[in-house]
């Protein structure tokens, strides 16, 4: 059971062939209820007290860890909480958790040349407000001659939930969202899921959920960090390319840049890295679709040891952009 001790439910809608459509409920002493999908969990609804106890134990042990996951084409998705309860006045972190079959992927906020990022439409009770998805550093997904940005395998996309004065302790809050995404390999399949998660609202400081702690720790590490100010990222417009310079004051052998804005660079063009005394330079080919000068180069710099948010001022082109026919 991922958010142990919490009131949890989830249901599938418009999913793939393994759409979970049978649910079993079990009451836990203390008035809490868990629901789970029989399809995915392979457990049978328990009617006898002993069977129920065994079932709860197996869930607590994580045997049935993904019982709430909703089937989507070539994977599952569920909504997880980092903590076991909500405390008025304290924000909490939820996570949109994807598990995909090998070879299939979903997309980053800028999906690159094709595809579409997952979207959430929240239904929250009064007193709760959802922030935007916080995007972990993406992978570079070549689909020759294109390059997309996204995630394969397992990924957790965190979403910060703020509490407002309207939230009072007592009872439970159900946080629900309609999720839309597209799951792709060579081909793409639209995915929809209705996700929901109920957490008790308590005055005391929430405890972390042991079941989800590792996933959230990994997700936090995968979020791009603000670039250290000493790096002083700057960019120059070289006509057909941008040159991004970063003063890392250490040798960087491998780096690539994922733009947050589409239509800025050619995603599929090789990015040339050159070491400098102060750090390194990256040559990024301009997008053919970029028709006007830009003043900032905004994106994520992916280095072997981690990813960093870059917002570099762009110095104008020293020479006019040469025309192709010259």
Partner 1 sequence: MKRGFAFAVILVVTAVSIVALAARVGEAAPNFTATDSNGKAHSLSSYRGKFVVLEWHNQGCPYTKKHYDSGNMERLQKEWTHKGVIWLTVISSAPGTQGYVTAEEENEYLRRMKAAPTGALLDPTGDLGHLYGAKTTPHMFIINPDGVLIYDGAIDDKPTSDQADIPTSRNYVSLALSEAMAGKPVGTPTSRPYGCSVKYAH
Instruction: Specify the stretch interacting with partner 1 by CB under 8 A; choose among 29-37, 114-122, 130-138, 269-277.
Output: 114-122
What's the CA gap between 294 and 31, in Å, rounded? 58
Three-state DSSP class for 39?
A: helix
> Minimum distance from CB of 189 to partner 1 (Å)?
7
> Minimum distance from CB of 322 to partner 1 (Å)?
11
> Minimum distance from CB of 15 to partner 1 (Å)?
15
Q: Cβ distance 267 to 291 under 8 Å?
A: no
19 binds partner 1 (CB under 8 A): no
First to last CA, the chain: 66
- Half-sphere exposure for 136 (CA within 13 Å, toward CB): 25
Binder among 50, 132, 187, 214 for partner 1 (CB under 8 A): 187
315 binds partner 1 (CB under 8 A): no
* C-beta of 139 vs 262, nearer to partner 1: 262
Residue window 273-312: x/- pattern of binding to partner 1, with contact defined by CB under 8 A: ---------------xxxx---------------------
> Minimum distance from CB of 142 to partner 1 (Å)?
10
46 binds partner 1 (CB under 8 A): no
> Minimum distance from CB of 125 to partner 1 (Å)?
26
Q: Cβ distance 144 to 130 under 8 Å?
A: no
Binder among 24, 28, 189, 294 for partner 1 (CB under 8 A): 189
Question: Which of positions 194-223 make contact with partner 1 (CB under 8 A)?
Answer: none
148 binds partner 1 (CB under 8 A): yes
Whose tokens are 């999913």? That residue is 15
Whose tokens are 């733009």? That residue is 259
114 binds partner 1 (CB under 8 A): yes
The radius of gyration of the chain from alpha carbons, rounded to an integer in Å, stands at 23
132 binds partner 1 (CB under 8 A): no
What's the CA gap between 167 and 283, in Å, rounded? 50
Question: Which of positions 254-273 make contact with partner 1 (CB under 8 A)?
Answer: 262-263
- Give the β-pairing of 23-28 and 32-37: antiparallel
**DSSP readout, 100-140?**
E-TT-EEEEEEEETS----EEEEE--TTEEEEEEPPPPPEE
Which tokens sit at 118? 């997952």
Longest dimension (CA), the chain: 84
Binder among 38, 188, 223, 238 for partner 1 (CB under 8 A): 188
Residues near partner 1 (CB under 8 A): 113-116, 119, 143-146, 148, 180, 182, 184, 186-190, 262-263, 288-291, 324-325
């Amino acid at each position: 059971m991922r958010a142990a001790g919490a009131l949890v439910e989830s249901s599938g809608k418009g999913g793939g062939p393994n759409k979970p459509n049978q649910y079993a409920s079990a009451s836990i002493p203390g008035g809490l209820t868990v629901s789970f999908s029989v399809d995915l969990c392979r457990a049978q609804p328990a009617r006898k007290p002993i069977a129920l106890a065994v079932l709860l134990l197996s869930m607590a042990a994580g045997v049935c860890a993904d019982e709430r996951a909703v089937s989507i084409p070539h994977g599952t998705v569920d909504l997880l909480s980092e903590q076991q309860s909500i405390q008025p006045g304290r924000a909490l972190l939820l996570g949109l958790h994807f598990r995909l079959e090998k070879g299939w992927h979903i997309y980053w906020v800028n999906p690159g040349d094709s595809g579409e990022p997952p979207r959430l439409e929240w239904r929250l009770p009064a007193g709760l407000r959802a922030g935007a998805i916080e995007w972990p550093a993406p992978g570079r997904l070549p689909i020759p001659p294109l390059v997309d940005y996204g995630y394969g395998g397992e990924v957790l996309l965190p979403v910060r939930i703020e509490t407002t004065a309207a939230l009072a302790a007592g009872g439970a809050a159900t946080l629900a969202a309609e999720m839309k995404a597209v799951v792709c390999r060579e081909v793409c399949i639209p995915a929809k899921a209705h996700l929901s998660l109920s957490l008790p609202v308590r005055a005391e400081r929430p405890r972390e959920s042991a079941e989800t702690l590792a996933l959230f720790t990994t997700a936090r590490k995968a979020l791009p960090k603000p670039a250290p100010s000493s790096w002083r990222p700057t960019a120059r417009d070289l006509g057909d390319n941008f040159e991004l310079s970063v003063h890392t004051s250490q040798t960087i052998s491998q780096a690539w840049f994922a733009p947050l804005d589409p239509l800025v660079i050619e995603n599929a063009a090789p990015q040339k890295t050159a070491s400098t005394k102060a750090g390194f330079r990256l040559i990024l080919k301009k997008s053919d679709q970029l028709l006007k000068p830009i003043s900032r180069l905004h994106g994520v710099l992916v280095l072997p040891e981690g990813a960093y948010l870059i917002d570099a001022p762009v110095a104008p082109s020293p020479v006019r952009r040469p025309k192709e026919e010259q």
